[in-house]
């Protein structure tokens, strides 16, 4: 080994491991100090004997072997070896200062061979030489699902098989084997260049510390540290997603919801006309409906569901046990069934959500009907319908308005709540303001008063903007 400089330590590093674990690539990355692309890694092959004569042939490779570690000038000479177990490698082990025992992150068998086959061989030829366990191809822990990498594997199939998640060796598995053998553990990646320089710097430290124990009189080795712990690997950040901001279709969807009456669960009765609406919309827009639906409607719906379940229970029990009880029990069951039928006759209504008239001979059920102490609202009623067009909920809420709210005004209020506009040809702005104030439509009250004061009756853009701000609040 020629071209050594004075006051320079020469370190021979032997790299061993199974075939195709990445030994030669690791040596090339350190000796040439070059980053390789994914296509180069997948399409080119470097022979194993590459590093044997490079230090004598190429001067630049020899110059890169010079390095300063902890104040010590070192010339690092790398020795590559064959991965076949039957090969004789005693020529490589001779006068070695440190050995890198390599395995592939995507090959658990190569990790097992490190403890079962390679470590005993190293100790047979180099009983006192420091050893470092090195996991190669660290980048495949996150690249095994990369589309570009998988496409390269498909193009070169069947020579290259894409690794699966079950093939990956986790860091704790490598550290466990290193702890068992009493050696240091590192990971490298030629593609990302992670740990390439770090593993060889710590290999030099391990060799110099072993040499310091033999040559304790050498003062230039006293500042050499022990091999350092490797920093955790940080995968590259994924690409930022393309954020596309689409135009809002909220008003269009609300208009469609009003016109086609999808999933309506509430009917507002003004005079002889009913307006199908949605409870959540009216409760969010109107203070009076919010108080009415949150205090009364929940309890009414619960009572309706409970009465329905009790009815089905009594009906099934009566059908299943008829003739199995004594006369008094059967009489009570028949009386309960008759009472339940009268209750359901009272709450049935047509599919168009119009309330059926209650018979004068029957009392109104107290748990399904309540009168409201409000000047604009007369009563609230929860009914169960068998067939309702465009609705999924069979439980419907019926709210009857007083004569203070006309059909035209109620229609304009509902249109504004859903669409944000009002019909300019057929509404009375003063009546709408009074009705909105009475029901607690605060935003509509402010808008109506502002329109009356500023004469912005036909400014639809202003209405849309005001409606949007109100919904955000």
Residues of the chain below pLDDT 50: 1-6, 296-298, 304, 308-325, 329, 331-333, 337-367, 426, 457-458, 472
- pLDDT number for residue 196: 92
pLDDT in tens, 391-409: 556 788 889 998 888 888 8
- pLDDT number for residue 327: 55
- pLDDT number for residue 359: 39
- pLDDT number for residue 438: 87
Whether the Cβ atoms of residue 311 and residue 344 lie closer than 8 Å to each other: yes
- pLDDT number for residue 20: 85
DSSP result, 150-200: HHHHHHTTTTS-PPPGGGPPPHHHHHHHHHHHT-EEEE-BTTTTBTHHHHH
- pLDDT number for residue 97: 94
Long-range contacts of residues 387-395, Cβ cutoff 8 Å, at least 24 apart: 387/351, 388/351, 388/353, 389/261, 389/351, 389/352, 390/260, 390/261, 390/262, 390/263, 390/264, 391/261, 391/263, 391/264, 391/265, 392/263, 393/263, 393/265, 395/265, 395/301, 395/304, 395/305
Domains and their CATH numbers in the chain: 9-221 (3.40.50.300), 263-404 (no CATH), 406-473 (no CATH)
Whether the Cβ atoms of residue 56 and residue 63 lie closer than 8 Å to each other: no
- pLDDT number for residue 208: 93
């Amino acid at each position: 080994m020629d071209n050594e400089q004075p006051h320079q330590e020469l370190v021979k590093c032997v790299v061993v491991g199974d075939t195709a674990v990445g030994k030669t690539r690791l040596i090339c990355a350190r000796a040439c100090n070059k980053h390789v692309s994914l296509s180069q890694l997948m399409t080119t092959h470097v022979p194993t004997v590459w590093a044997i004569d490079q230090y004598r042939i190429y001067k630049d490779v020899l110059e890169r072997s010079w390095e300063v570690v902890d104040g010590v000038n070192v010339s690092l000479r790398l020795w590559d070896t064959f991965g076949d177990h039957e090969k004789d490698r005693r020529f490589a082990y001779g006068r070695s200062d440190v050995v890198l025992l390599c395995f592939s992150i995507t090959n658990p068998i190569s990790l097992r061979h490190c403890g079962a086959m390679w470590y005993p061989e190293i100790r047979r030829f180099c009983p006192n030489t420091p050893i470092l366990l090195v996991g190669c191809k660290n980048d495949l822990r996150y690249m095994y699902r990369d589309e570009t990498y998988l496409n390269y594997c498909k193009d070169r199939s069947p020579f290259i098989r894409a690794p699966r998640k079950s093939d990956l060796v986790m860091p704790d598995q490598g550290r466990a084997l290193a702890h068992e053998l009493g050696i240091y553990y590192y990971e490298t990646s030629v593609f990302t260049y992670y740990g390439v320089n770090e593993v060889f710097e710590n290999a030099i430290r391990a060799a110099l510390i072993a040499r310091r124990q033999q040559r304790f009189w050498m003062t230039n080795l006293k500042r050499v540290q022990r091999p350092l712990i490797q920093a955790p690997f940080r995968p590259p950040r994924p690409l930022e997603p393309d954020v596309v901001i689409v135009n809002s279709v909220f008003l269009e969807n609300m208009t469609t919801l009003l016109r086609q009456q999808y999933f309506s669960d509430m009917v507002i009765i003004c005079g002889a006309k009913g307006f199908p609406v949605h409870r959540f919309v009216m409760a969010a827009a109107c203070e009076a409906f919010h108080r009415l639906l949150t205090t009364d409607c929940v309890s009414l719906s619960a009572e309706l569901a409970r009465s329905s379940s009790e009815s089905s229970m009594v009906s099934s029990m009566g059908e299943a046990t008829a003739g199995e009880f004594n006369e008094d029990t059967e009489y009570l069951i028949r009386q309960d069934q008759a009472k339940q039928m009268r209750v359901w006759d009272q709450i049935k209504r047509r599919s168009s959500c119009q309330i059926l008239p209650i018979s004068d001979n029957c009392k109104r059920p107290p748990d399904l009907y309540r009168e409201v102490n409000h000047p604009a609202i007369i009563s609230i009623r929860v009914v169960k319908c068998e067939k309702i067009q465009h609705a999924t909920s069979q439980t419907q809420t019926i709210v009857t308005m007083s004569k203070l709210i006309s059909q035209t005004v109620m229609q304009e209020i509902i249109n504004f709540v859903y669409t944000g506009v009002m019909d300019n040809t057929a509404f009375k702005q003063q009546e709408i303001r009074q009705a909105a104030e009475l029901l607690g439509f605060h935003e509509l009250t402010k808008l109506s008063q502002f329109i009356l004061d500023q004469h912005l009756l036909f400014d639809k853009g202003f209405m849309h903007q005001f409606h949007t701000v109100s919904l955000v609040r």
